[in-house]
Amino acid sequence: MKAVGKINKITLLAITLATALLGLTASSWAQGIPPVVWAKAPFQYDKGEAPSVAVSGLVIVEVHEGGDGTLWYHTGRIQENGSVTWAKAPFQYDKGYAPSIAINGNDILEVHQAGTAVGPLWYHTGSISAAGQVTWAKTAVQYDSGLAPSVAIAGQTAIEVHQGQIGIGPLWYHTVEIQTNGNVVWSRSAQYDSGVAPSVAVAGSTVIEVHQAGGVEGPLWCHTAEIQANGSVSWASAPFQYDNGFAPSVSASGPTAIEIHQSGLGVSQLWFQIAALGAGGNVEFFGATQYDNGESPRLAVAGPTVLEVHQEETGVGPLWYHTAAY
């Protein structure tokens, strides 16, 4: 049974000291990479499945399936001591499956599937106030067809990736221009790779994408790109394998990226690793470490704070968040 509560400064300090004493971050320190220090336990914040989370400053917006074709959002705020205070209840904002959310300043861009198989992909825009109140556009708009979409934002440019079919096959991307009036302009889709379960993050002009190249516990691959001055994206000529696992997720802030994944299908060990983003789209991963157990992990990195969300079990059930600092 997982405990429900908050992390205080003393707890975080104790975790930091214990981790340092155990030498768990020695390799990352030796490489000049900041260590990631996880809170001792995750805490339940809601019920549902397929969560996704984004952070703007100290404000959190999380989205998930309700299990009956409904999509819900839940807001929260990161406190000075690293704990999270969540709104008392979530609210329904749409219908669909497999949501992914990104925030830039006050602008929200959310994408999701219309159904459980290959079909229409929809985006839904919104805005969030400093107080954490979300105002959604009245309706969602179709932008493509596929499944398993993922979206990330850097400045006025967003990158969206998705599968074109069930199982291993073409992976597609869109660029999105976010205009000052809140409107979004989508480019035509283009194939950038092949695989399944893509996740994308952006740090400055650097795009880092991760996906599975095989089945359960199969190769995990990373593909990088650079956003050009005209808003186009130039992808590296080839991806590279960085680990083995299932359902990867990635987020980035500045020169640092954090990647998480399951060890296998269903409820299993959850692993993370830190990566350094170098010039020209170079990425160096520094080895995976288990941080929890669960399913469908997703994360957001904001400054020195890592916020991860996941399911406790397969299907609708408890949703948990886990914080870390680096």
Predicted TM-score (pTM) above 0.85: yes
pLDDT attached to residue 32: 56
The pLDDT value given to residue 22: 33
308: its two tokens: 């991860």
What CATH code would you report for 9-325?
2.120.10.10
Distance of alpha carbon 57 from alpha carbon 296, whole angstroms = 24
User: How large is the average pLDDT for residues 68-75?
Assistant: 96
pLDDT band at 81 (very low <50, low <70, confident <90, very high): confident
Q: What is the pLDDT of residue 281?
A: 72
Mean pLDDT, residues 257-277 = 94
Mean residue pLDDT across the chain: 87
- Is the pLDDT at 25 greater than 50? The verdict is no
Q: Which two tokens stand for residue 150?
A: 């993922």
Interval 194-217 mean pLDDT: 91
Here the tokens at position 39 are 């809170």
Query: Are residues 246 and 268 in contact, defined by beta-carbon separation less than 8 angstroms?
Result: yes
Task: Please compute the mean of the pLDDT values over residues 143-161 and round it to a whole number.
Answer: 95
3-state secondary structure (DSSP) of residue 132 = coil
- Give yes or no for residue 156 having a pLDDT over 70: yes
Indicate the burial class of 204 (C-beta count within 10 angstroms; 0-12, 13-18, 19 or more).
middle
Predicted confidence (pLDDT) at residue 326 exceeds the cutoff of 90: no
Mean pLDDT confidence for 22-32: 42
